[in-house]
Structure formats: C-alpha cells, structure tokens
Structure 1
Amino acid sequence: MIGKIIAGSSFAGTVGYVIKEQSRILAAEGIPPPDIREMVQDFKDQTLLNPRIKNAVGHISLSFSPKDGMRITDALMLDIAKEYIQRMGITDTQYLLVRHLDQPHPHCHLVYNRVGNNGQTISDKNIKIRNAKVCRALTEKSGLHLAPGKESVRRERLREPDKTKYEIYDAIKTSLPKCGSWSDLELRLKERGISMRYKYCGSTTQKQGVLFSKNGFEFSGAKIDRQFSFSKLDRHFTYMQQQSQRRGTLAKGFHVAIGNYRSAYTGLFGNIGRSGNKGQADAGSINFGGNIGALPLPPNDSSVGLSAAQLQRKPGESPEEHIARITALLNTVAEAMAIAAMEQKRRLRERKTKMKL
C-alpha cells in the first residue's frame, strides 16, 4: 500500500474530484452523503471553528498493488483505511472515504477536515514521514504486496511538479552507480537537462545542501528522495573514493607481488621452459590476461607448492578479497622460492668445494 499526500485548496474541488462516475463511497463521518453540495457545505461550516487554519483541506490517496486486486474487497479496504486514519491521528473530525474503480490497481481517496469537531487542528507535521511508516506497517500487517517504492509509480499519470520530480529521481538513480564524485554526477545530469546547485552554511563555503532543477522546478535532494539528501550523497561519494583508492592500492600491491614472484621463479628454476627442467614434472601456468599474461607455476615435484586452484576466485569471495588473498599468497610463495634458491646455491657451492678437494 502506498499513501500519497495530495494538495487541495478547496473542499468543493476535492470532493467533486473524488466522487466520480466510477466510484463508491465506503464511509463518511460528519458529512452525510450522497449530495455533494451538502457535504461540501458541512466541511466549510466546520472550518469556521478555527479560522486560523489557512488550508483545512486534507486529501490522501491510498493505493494497493494490482497483485492484491482480488483480495482488496470493499470491506478489507475500509478496515485498512480506518486503521490508517487512526494511526495518522485523523480523529474527531469529518472525513469522506471513496473507492475509485477506474484503474487496474485498487485505490481510494480520503478527504478530511483539518479543523476537528471541537475546533482543534489535525496536524500535518511530518505527515509524509508518518504516512510512509504507517503504510508499510499496515501493508506488512495485512500481508499485502510490498511495492518497490518509487519504481512502482506510474510515470505516465503524473502531473507537474511530480512529473519533473520523478524525472530527476530516475536520472539520479540511473546515473549514480557510474559516478565517483559530485562533479561526475553534475556532468551526467547536465546531459539530461538537469542542473545542480549547492546550499551553503551561512556565508561560509561549507556545503550543507544540494538542489536539482529542471523544467522550471527545483527540489532539494531530500525532497526527491531521502537517499538523495546532501549528507547521504556525500557519504556515498566519500565511500566510492575510498573504494577507488583501496582498489588502486590493491592493484599496485598485486603487480609488485607478480614481479616478485617472476623474479623468484627465475632465480630458482631459470629461464628455461618448464619442460626443459629435467627431472621435474611440469605444473603448467595460469593466465591472468591483460598486461600480466601467463604466470608459470612451480613444478609438481618442487619443494615450493602452488597450484592454479589456489589462485582461482573462491565462491562468495569479492574481487577485492580475491586480489588481496592471492597477492599475499604470491608474496609468500616468492619468499619461499627465494629461500629455496639460496639453499640451492649453497649446496652447489659445497659440491664445488668438495670436488676441488
């Protein structure tokens, strides 16, 4: 279930919109249906109890997934909507609940008076945050399909400014995985007709917010989606840069380990092809591709052991973990081969000394 907070400026326009040909009134409180004029007048009369509220019109649509279409009877929709009303604090006031039948997905519209029955204010503070939490809780409680957030919104039915807001959302969502910095994101969004600017802390150069604009509309990152707030995007780019530096360090260490290994291998086995090492069985090589190419493996009967299987990536091992592991392994084997080469030279010197004697 998804709740959408809709701006309404008059009860006449809002009630006139929700009661249409393909609709059913599920519930009404303090405004006896079905006469639209009388309901609108009842709404207006109650607003006189608190003239300080400039806009007393409350309007929320509750939409359910088409996958739950067969389950969402009028009775179930009414039960869920009434619990939604209670959890949102829309109590002791007039309201109208109407189910629309003109779309493939079940949905209803809640129109309520922000001036309560006793003149109290029905608060709209943090209403979008509260709405998201209540919708998710009721969806899980009722065992309904959990829609994947903004991806499930039908773009073709959006009006401005939501249409532009979702265009910016989609652009950031698709561009972000390819961006490693703010400048990368700015460049990619510019190609899609979206401009960026920053908000600063007072008169300092410290950035504290980001705004995106297109088609004459401008939104803060958090208004487009909470994951696109300045602080969260900044953390994302910091993490990406740290990962890039780490990958660079890993790559440098890996190439050094390859060089150490080749040098130690040559020192122990020489430059002769492995098939030319008499008395030693050929263990083959492993091809890393790129500018590294094939890496010779120690012969099977060598005191230094290294197999192609040891250098392969293990199941569940990330590329970074794989590089770090084989870098350490190659360095260990190179050290062992260097020691073996020194021992080999020592024995050779001893034999030569004995022969001279």
Structure 2
Amino acid sequence: MIAKVITGKSFGGCVRYLLEREKSFVLDSAGVRDYGVKATIADLNAQRKMRPQLGNAVGHSVLSWSNEDGNKLTLEKMAEHAREYMEKMGIKNTQYLTVLHTDKKHPHLHIVYNRVDNEGKTIGNYNHWHKSRKICREMTERYGYHLGKGKAKVNRQALRGNDRLRYAIHDALKSIMAKATTWKQVETMLARQGIDIHYKYRSGTNEVQGISFEKDGVKFKGSAIDRKFSFASMEKQLSHNRGTEISQSARQTPTLAEQIREVLGQQQQRSETYETALGLLSDLLDMPASIEPEPEPNWRRKKKKPEQEQLRGISR
C-alpha cells in the first residue's frame, strides 16, 4: 500500500476528475451530497468560505495497492483502510469523499477532503509526505499486503505532477551522492539538472540544520525525498566518499619500502648490464690486433708459347 498526497485550489476540477470518469464509484463520504457532481462541489466550496485566506484548501490522497493484493481486498476493506489512513494523518472532523477508480490494473482509490474543517480550522499538511509514507508502510505490514521493492521499481513514465519532480530529484541525488565528496560538487551537479539546494540554518548561527531541494518551482525537504537525503545523512555519505578517495589514492602511491625496493632493483639491473658490457669489451681486447688474410689461390694458367716460337728460339 502506498499513497500520493496532493494539495490544490479547485474543488471543481478535482471532483469532476474523480466522478466524471466512466469507471468510478463512490465508496464513502461525509458532510457532502455525493449523488451529484455539482452538489458535491457546492458543499465543499461553501465550507471553505469559513477560511477564505487559505488558498490550497483541497486535500487529495491516492491510496494504491499491488496487483498481488487484489484477492485480499473488498470494497468494504478499502473504505475502512481509507478511514484509518485519514485518522492517522490527522484528517478529522471535515468533509470528504472516497472514490474507487477501476481504470488501472492495480486497486486504488482517491480521497478528496476539505482542509477547512467543520469548525473553520485548517487541517495542517506539515511534513505530510514523510508521515504518509510511514503510515502506509505500517498498514501494509500489519495487514499482510505486498511490500514493494523500493523506489527502483516505480514506473517513472507513469508519474505526474509533484511525484514526477520528487523522483527526478531522487534519481539525480542517488547518482551524484555515489561519487561527490564536497557540497560544492553536489550543488554544481544538481544545478546542471535544474535542481537548487536550500539550506536551513539554526537561528542566529551558520550551523546547517536541514536541507531542501527545488525543481520547477516546487520545493521538497530532503527527508521527504528519502531519509538518506537529509542533511545529516548526506554529510555522512560525503565524509565516507572522501575517506574512500583518500584510501584509494594511498593504495595507488607506493610506500617508502616499495620505492626503496624499486630503486635497488633498478641499480641491480644497471649493475648487471654494466658487467655484461665489461665482459664483451674484455673479449674484444683479447683478440689479435690484426689477422693476415690467407692469399687466395691463383687459378689462372700461364699461356704456353706456340711450339714454333720455341723451336726458333732453340735454333738461334
């Protein structure tokens, strides 16, 4: 079981979205006429006039279950879970309408409620993202419903509005915090993705107390995005990253002993090379100064004089 919490300004737009769908069904209501769209809108707007300065008077929560929980749920159970969720969220003594939608594969329902309660007081929404997440997890475990595998399994393409922005910030932070070592690096890398950081300081000091992130004009507390993105958790992660970086750098730099062994090895290698060269030079010096080459045999024969010339020589 998970919840998406929304606040808005127009009861008309919200109620029409919930009731004018073909596959919608009113499960539960209080303080409004739920038999007609116009009557419901009129009742909600009449009560909000008790506190006209409250702009975002529309409260809207979407409760969803996994497909695996379909055989465990009934209409009565879903209505009961919606009432329990509102009670734990502090949505009490006010008008509300619970509407079932069957246009998706997974079971889900919508709750629209008036943030101006029956006495004209405002129903707060401070830290409601974090509060809602804790309540849903507690109810999921208590009733034995399917427990999701975390944010990695959420279909980003199906997200809209603030959920889309919140997950965009989550994914950016997850990637950045895996490698950043300073807050300056975090700020620079987030700015490239259109995300701003806002620090909350302790009154009258420079001590950072909290952190929030803003994208497209919508601001989220770090802990509302994920507990690991609170200021304290992020500071701890950055410190860990710095320690890891120093450790890796130390491993890459040879120790003094390793450097000495390397120098001695180089000297030994130079000594061996020098001795080899001396041996070759000695061999060369032991050779004779010059070696007379043996004369090549003369294979050419002398021409014999003709016999007549020999005879004439004899007669003379």
- Give structure 2 stretches of 5+ with no counterpart: 262-316
SS at match of 1:148: coil
Q: Report the CA distance between 1:113 and its aligned residue.
A: 1.4
Q: Once the two structures are superposed, what CA deviation does each residue of 1:6-39 show, in whole Å capped at 9, x if it has no partner?
A: 1221211111111121111111112132211111
SS at match of 1:25: strand
Tell whether the 8 Å contact from 1:155 to 1:166 is kept in structure 2 after alignment. yes
The structure number with the bigger radius of gyration is 2
CA separation of 1:162/1:146 partners in 2, compared to 1, >3 Å: closer, same or farther?
same
Matches within 5 A, 1:31-180: 31-180=32-181
* Higher RCO, 1 vs 2 (CA within 8 Å, ≥6 residues apart): 2
Distance 1:216 1:116 in 2: 28
CA separation of 1:213/1:122 partners in 2, compared to 1, >3 Å: closer, same or farther?
closer
Distance 1:221 1:13 in 2: 30
Distance 2:156 2:107 in 1: 17
Distance 1:88 1:97 in 2: 15
Q: Report the CA distance between 1:243 and its aligned residue.
A: 3.8
Matches within 5 A, 1:279-298: none
Q: Once the two structures are superposed, what CA deviation does each residue of 1:101-125 show, in whole Å capped at 9, x if it has no partner?
A: 1111111100111222233332323
Distance 1:241 1:150 in 2: 26
Match of 1:327 in 2: none
Distance 1:64 1:36 in 2: 27
- Give structure 1 stretches of 5+ with no counterpart: 262-357
Match of 1:6 in 2: 6
Tell me which moved more, 180-189 or 64-73. 180-189
The amino acid that maps onto 1:167 is: A
SS at match of 1:103: coil
SS at match of 2:111: strand
CA separation of 1:260/1:172 partners in 2, compared to 1, >3 Å: closer, same or farther?
same
Matches within 5 A, 1:212-251: 221-222=222-223, 224-246=225-247, 251=251
**What is the identity percentage for the equivalent residue pairs of Structure 1 and Structure 2?**
37
The amino acid that maps onto 1:5 is: V
SS at match of 2:123: coil
Distance 1:125 1:209 in 2: 15
Matches within 5 A, 1:276-315: none
CA separation of 1:199/1:49 partners in 2, compared to 1, >3 Å: closer, same or farther?
closer
CA separation of 1:61/1:209 partners in 2, compared to 1, >3 Å: closer, same or farther?
same
Tell whether the 8 Å contact from 1:196 to 1:210 is kept in structure 2 after alignment. no
CA RMSD of superposed structures (Å): 3.5
Q: Once the two structures are superposed, what CA deviation does each residue of 1:249-280 show, in whole Å capped at 9, x if it has no partner?
A: 6x49996798999xxxxxxxxxxxxxxxxxxx
Aligned length: 260
The amino acid that maps onto 1:81 is: A
Match of 1:16 in 2: 16
Tell whether the 8 Å contact from 1:28 to 1:97 is kept in structure 2 after alignment. yes
Distance 1:83 1:200 in 2: 34
Tell whether the 8 Å contact from 2:177 to 2:237 is kept in structure 1 after alignment. no
**TM-score computed with the length of structure 1 as normaliser:** 0.61
The amino acid that maps onto 1:3 is: A
The amino acid that maps onto 2:17 is: Y
